[in-house]
Amino acid sequence: MAIVRPFRAVRPIKELASKVAALPYDVMSSDEAREMVKGNPYSFLHIDKSEIDLPEDIDLYDQSVYRKANSNLQEMISNGVFFQEKKAKIYIYRIISKGRAQTGIVACTSIDEYLNDSIKKHEFTRPNKEIDRINHVDHCDANTGPIFLTYKNKKEIDDMVLEIIKTPPEYDFIAEDEITHTVWVVKEDEIIEKLCALFQSVNSLYIADGHHRCASAAKVGQMRREENPSYTGEEEFNFFLSVIFPEKDLYIMDYNRIVKDLNGLSKQEFLQKVSEKFKVKEFTGEGPYKPSSKGTYGMYLNGKWYQLEIKDGIGHLTHPVESLDVSILQNNLLYPILGIEDPRIDERIDFIGGIRGLEALRKKVDGGKMKVAFSMYPTTIEELMNIADAGEVMPPKSTWFEPKPRSGLFIHKLK
């Protein structure tokens, strides 16, 4: 059973929605965010990455950063950029990128379902990143960025959504990256109640993206419970902001690896060790090598692309985690050959999302700061759900969902 409920959104006025909407805070650096907001005082990055309005040498975790986030939020509310709904509602949010559409429901979900694992996870979180978002939510007294959830397809929900999107939308704009964002407001109590009831027959929700935001929202909710020991469970702090897409709509891109050195090996020594567990073939085609099936990899080294294919008998093909391509590469090459024991903390490895293209890998290596790059075949949504169902976690940087929901179109106040 999935608890989904309406909420009184704080959201931008129609005329400013396209200027407010911003990419999630964790997909760009502070310097990149400063460039993005030039000439746009309405960008939600002024709230989600408020350090951009403070001196450049500020510690990102300084309390003044979170105070500035709240100050910017309150100022934008006071200035009429945002308003709060008088009545609790649900929203339909469609994103179209390169002809592909994903259409989901914006609503609130339960921190208890997160805490008891009814909302299923597939990643570990980092304490410092959790603390950052806890401070942000706590100071703003609001969930400012939606958690990106998914669920196994349910035709009855699809049918209702299809009817709703036949009506005129509230927001409809094309962002600077040419991705279209359209929002419909569901105002009718009968339709809201029916949608919420349909989700009660959904066995589980799965976190697609936003593990740190989700963990932080739950912990702030627990903090509010401690501050209010007579809480009933119906208070807003017991719920967090979510956008919920059916699995059939989601698109996972490759999440590629790049390493600074060959761990003291020469090129020939490295290739020899790689060939013990992988079939290695120089790629003679044009451009970068993009893997076309599970168990294959591209490798860029010394100005050349190679095709790698895992040899028979390598890897645990029945284990939901160990059978992942990212796990096979980690366990058979990155760790034993390149010495990358823990990719979460090793500074010799970096990750590049598929949205940046494989040319980004070549440029990093050719630029001299990195030595070898690996292009990956994308993890599937089925693999993600199987791992979450098994109570397991994926290796870091296993999935890159695209397109990403914009922040700033909906804010959930905790009281």
154: nearest Cα among 4, 266, 50: 4
CATH class of domain segment(s) 255-377: alpha beta
The token duo for 377 is 């075949």
Element (H, E) at 186: strand 180-186
Contacts by residues 156-159 (CB-CB < 8 Å, ≥ 24 positions apart): 156/198, 157/105, 157/195, 157/198, 157/199, 157/202, 157/246, 158/246
Torsion of CA 36, 45, 356, 149, to 10 degrees: -160
Q: Higher confidence at residue 67 or residue 396?
A: 67
Q: Is-contact 372 274, C-beta < 8 A?
A: no
Instruction: Classify residue 389 as exposed, middle or buried by CB count within 10 Å of its CB (0-12, 13-18, 19+).
Output: middle
Residue 124 has what pLDDT? Answer: 87
Instruction: Classify residue 128 as exposed, middle or buried by CB count within 10 Å of its CB (0-12, 13-18, 19+).
Output: exposed
Contacts by residues 383-388 (CB-CB < 8 Å, ≥ 24 positions apart): 383/320, 383/324, 384/122, 384/206, 384/208, 384/252, 385/120, 385/152, 385/206, 385/247, 386/320, 387/122, 387/320, 387/321, 387/324, 388/120, 388/121, 388/122, 388/204, 388/206, 388/207
Q: How confident is the model at residue 354 (pLDDT cuts 50, 70, 90)?
A: confident
Q: Is the pLDDT of residue 148 over 90?
A: yes
Residue 152 has what pLDDT? Answer: 95
Residue 363 has what pLDDT? Answer: 94
Q: Is the pLDDT of residue 128 over 90?
A: no
Residue 316 has what pLDDT? Answer: 62
User: What are 265-295's pLDDT values in tens digits?
Assistant: 999 999 999 999 999 999 998 889 999 999 9
Q: Is the pLDDT of residue 202 over 70?
A: yes
Q: Is the pLDDT of residue 194 over 90?
A: yes
Residue 356 has what pLDDT? Answer: 84
Average per-residue pLDDT in the chain? 95
In the block, tokens 């490895």 appear at 349
Residue 319 has what pLDDT? Answer: 85
pTM exceeds 0.75 for this model: yes
The token duo for 57 is 């040498």
User: What are 68-84's pLDDT values in tens digits?
Assistant: 999 999 999 999 999 99
Residue 315 has what pLDDT? Answer: 65
Residue 318 has what pLDDT? Answer: 75
Write down the domain spans for the chain: 4-251+402-413, 255-377
Q: Is-contact 307 298, C-beta < 8 A?
A: yes
Highest mean pLDDT range out of 83-87, 208-212, 346-350? 83-87
Q: Write the DSSP symbol of residue 247.
A: G
- Phi, psi of 310, rounded to the nearest 5 degrees: -60, 135
β-strand pairing of 239-246 with 119-120: unpaired
Residue 72 has what pLDDT? Answer: 98
